[in-house]
Amino acid sequence: MKNFVFHNKTKIYFGKGQIENLHSEICRFGKRVLLVYGGGSIKKIGLYDEVISQLKKAEMTVFELPGVEPNPRHTTVNKGAKICKDEHIDVLLAVGGGSTIDATKAIAAAAKYDGDDCWDLIKRKAFVKETLPFCTVLTLSATGSEMDGGCVISNIESNEKLGYFAPDNNPDVSFLDPTYTFSVSSYQTASGSADIMAHVFDMSYFSLENRMDMLVRMQEEVLKTVVKYAPVAIEKPNDYDARANLMWASSWALNGFLYDGLSHATVCHAMEHELSAFYDITHGHGLAILIPRWLSYVLDEKTAPIIKRMGVNLFGVDENLENTEGAKQAIKALENFYFVTLGLKSRLSDLGIDDKHFKTMAKQACGWRGGVLNGFTDLTTQDVENIYRLCL
């Protein structure tokens, strides 16, 4: 069991109507706010008006950065950072899903960086010393960005999608109102749910390291929460309990509590980021396609007991099965959940992806981590390419 540090400063307001506390929280950070959002769905559900009304109540001067992309671009981050510098912004407010929050997080850091290009920070050419404060209003249960210090930014020119993490770059305050996710489509609910599960699978659950028993069992509770409530939310989009459970699960999957000091790479995220960088696909969907094939590829006598355990505890696979057979059943059950219950398409070819870039993507996925993805089992460039092919 490894040592670890747990620290999470984000203050969470959870529940219906909590937005009414926005004005009193945000004015603690200053008077000039940059409101960041995406494609306009927040206007359709009336949230934009609620937010503006709160900002007026707080007597804030409001600047806006709309149009953050689903895989947020570094150019958008640069645009936001420039507004912050030019307009002497005191605090940022992200209203949207993980992409909007990720972009805002990067803007908060880039606004305090002397250079013009946030890509320097993402590529670790320069380091974040200070950030602007920022708050979030969440509209999609998926990435956990509402309660962590990480973000993922894409550079479309160079086909790079890279994660960046700074422990002091958590949101200061996040508003989690499950009713804001009632209008999320079946497809985005399914992809978001797959993303929540992938955080647990990839960050901590599938590991051969010695881990704290309580945390492994809590990881399973987060996973079981998604298995139980994602289908309910798809069937009944306005089911408050289902949306609430998914929303809080998304935050806890990635807020640091469940990792317990594990140090390995998040191999599926590394592989998926290349898919999104080259093809701009939905992150959670890419993960759902990759994970079962990855598990099949790494299945051996060491990994089998853990894969089987997932099947037993999440999907009722018979615990008396021999380990390898149990693990195979577990993978089948997981595929069934992703591709039948959640209705996600099961192959990369369904998303218009062929094998043209697999070699480059595999090289790049491993390249960021010194040539090998160390994890549940270590993966070479050839392994990664093989796994991509299994997903075709």
| 218: contact with its own copies by CB under 8 A | yes
Q: Tell me the CB-side half-sphere exposure of residue 256, using CA atoms within 13 A.
A: 17
Alpha-carbon torsion (206, 185, 388, 317), positive or negative: positive
CB atoms within 10 A of CB 370: 9
Q: Count of residues for the chain? A: 392
Give the three-class secondary structure for 173: strand
Stretch that binds its own copies, among 243-251, 270-278, 319-327, 380-388 (CB under 8 A): 243-251
| 14: contact with its own copies by CB under 8 A | yes
Give the three-class secondary structure for 235: helix
Beta carbon nearer to its own copies, 17 or 305:
17
Beta carbon nearer to its own copies, 8 or 296:
8
Stretch that binds its own copies, among 44-52, 70-78, 224-232, 369-377 (CB under 8 A): 224-232
Residues 197-216 that bind its own copies (CB under 8 A): 212-215
Regarding beta strands 134-138 and 173-176, do their DSSP bridges make them parallel or antiparallel, or are they unpaired? parallel
What order do you get walking across the sheet with 173-176 strand by strand? 61-65, 32-37, 91-96, 134-138, 173-176
Give least dist CB 69 to its own copies, A: 30
| 8: contact with its own copies by CB under 8 A | yes
| 244: contact with its own copies by CB under 8 A | yes
Stretch that binds its own copies, among 3-11, 103-111, 284-292, 367-375 (CB under 8 A): 3-11
At CA 84, angle to CA 17 and CA 32, rounded to 5? 50
**Of positions 197, 222, 234, 361, contacts its own copies by CB under 8 A:** 222
| 180: contact with its own copies by CB under 8 A | no
Task: Supply the DSSP symbol for 340.
Answer: I
Closest CA to 11 of 167, 128, 172: 172
| 123: contact with its own copies by CB under 8 A | no
| 129: contact with its own copies by CB under 8 A | no
Contact 97, 146 (CB under 8 A): no
Residues 255-274 that bind its own copies (CB under 8 A): 257, 261
Interface ranges with its own copies (CB under 8 A): 1-18, 212-215, 217-218, 221-222, 224-225, 228-229, 240-241, 244-245, 248-249, 257, 261
